[in-house]
A = this chain, B = another copy of it.
Amino acid sequence: MRAGRPSSVRAVDAAALRLQFPVLARVAYLNAGTCGPLPRASLEAARDVWELAESQGRGAAYFERLGAMRERLRAAYASVLGADPLDVALTTSTSEGVVRVLAGLELGPGDEVLTAPDEHAGLLGPLRALRERRSVAVRTAPLAELPDAVGPRTALVACSHVSWTTGALAPEALAGLDVPLLLDGAQSTGAVPIDLSALGCSFYAGSGQKWLCGPMGSGMLWVSPAWRERLEPTGLTYVNLSDPAAGLAARPLPGAARHDAPALALETVAPALAAYETLASAGLSAVQRRATGLAARLAELLAGSGRLIAPRGRSTLVSWHSRDPVLERDRLAAAGVVVRDLPGTPLLRASTGAWNDESDLERLLAAL
């Protein structure tokens, strides 16, 4: 859990880290923005769980291990966010964290949510529903202009920490607003340094399956201490009550755990924790420094080869204009290079992680 500190002075042993990810032996995997590569340790952790469940059933031993590993995963995610585990909920995805916040704020007529027009569907979809069903006003402004666009009715600003289309960063001036801020951390959690107090947000939703290399169905939601008791818990169930046997007298758990997803399986939690440990062993800060460095290098190489790069920040995403993104994506896939197109845009996007190296970038350039 304390791996972040010493790592700041050492570099990643890239060759050793690379060997932990079997997929890298086959392809230039540059798509952590969809799902990260799975480390060997995750596969082993999953296999152990399935064997336990098959041979002993899913009884006391399964649930005891699950309970303990959930708290270890919460602490792991807290260390990624530089947060207190008390303020971290375990979710199944960034999107689940986003909807938990949007549902729990009890917004209604007269309230306005300010967002950017090119945010992910996991944010815009539920915002549209709030507009339709609860008469919440939804107004958009470009990500960089959000701080100046806040108005008297703005009850929430909701946007990416790192834009999923371009890799641009949320403007620093968001930190000074006197309005709650929900950051969508899908493309930032594990990828870039996160300083919650500098960001000035009230809520931070993140993914476990992208730069943290865990299974689908892993994720987190950080809720600031100021909102700990205020955000309505709309997903209460057995796992997030302090005394589930108390019936109608049962109270939500203290802290963000009251927003935990209801049915996280040991088959998910154990591999997610194993993936985190693989990265933490290499040093999280060093892992992030290497990943952002590789992205900057890729942007240089692409610009040098005449591609038009979408304006980006110090992130792990590089997007460039393509005449036919789907065709180009498929051509790259056939050459063993995995990137993605971004539907509704003229862009192709590559994601870098510390597990990548120059050879992956060269394969992409060569295949283009």
CA A357 to CA B35, docked complex, whole Å: 44
Q: How far is the CB of A15 from chain B (nearest CB, A)?
A: 19
A234-B103, A268-B265 known; A58-B34 Cβ under 8 A: yes
Chain A residues numbered 263-292 whose CB sits less than 8 Å from any CB in chain B? 263-268
Q: Once the chains bind, are A266 and B92 in contact (CB under 8 Å)?
A: no
For A129, A247, A263, which residue has the most chain B Cβ atoms within 10 angstroms? Answer: A263
Q: Once the chains bind, are A129 and B59 in contact (CB under 8 Å)?
A: no
Chain A residues numbered 187-244 whose CB sits less than 8 Å from any CB in chain B? 209, 215-217, 219, 232-238, 240-241, 244
Q: Once the chains bind, are B22 and A125 in contact (CB under 8 Å)?
A: no
Q: How far is the CB of A355 from chain B (nearest CB, A)?
A: 11
A-B contact pairs, 21 of them (CB 8 A): A22-B54, A27-B56, A38-B50, A38-B53, A46-B46, A46-B267, A96-B237, A96-B261, A96-B263, A98-B237, A121-B244, A124-B247, A124-B248, A124-B250, A125-B236, A125-B238, A125-B250, A127-B248, A129-B236, A217-B267, A217-B268
If A215-B265, A217-B264 are given as contacts, then 16 extra A-B residue pairs at C-beta distance below 8 Å, sorted by A number, are A23-B54, A26-B56, A31-B59, A92-B263, A93-B262, A99-B237, A121-B245, A124-B247, A126-B234, A128-B236, A217-B217, A217-B265, A244-B343, A247-B344, A265-B268, A267-B268
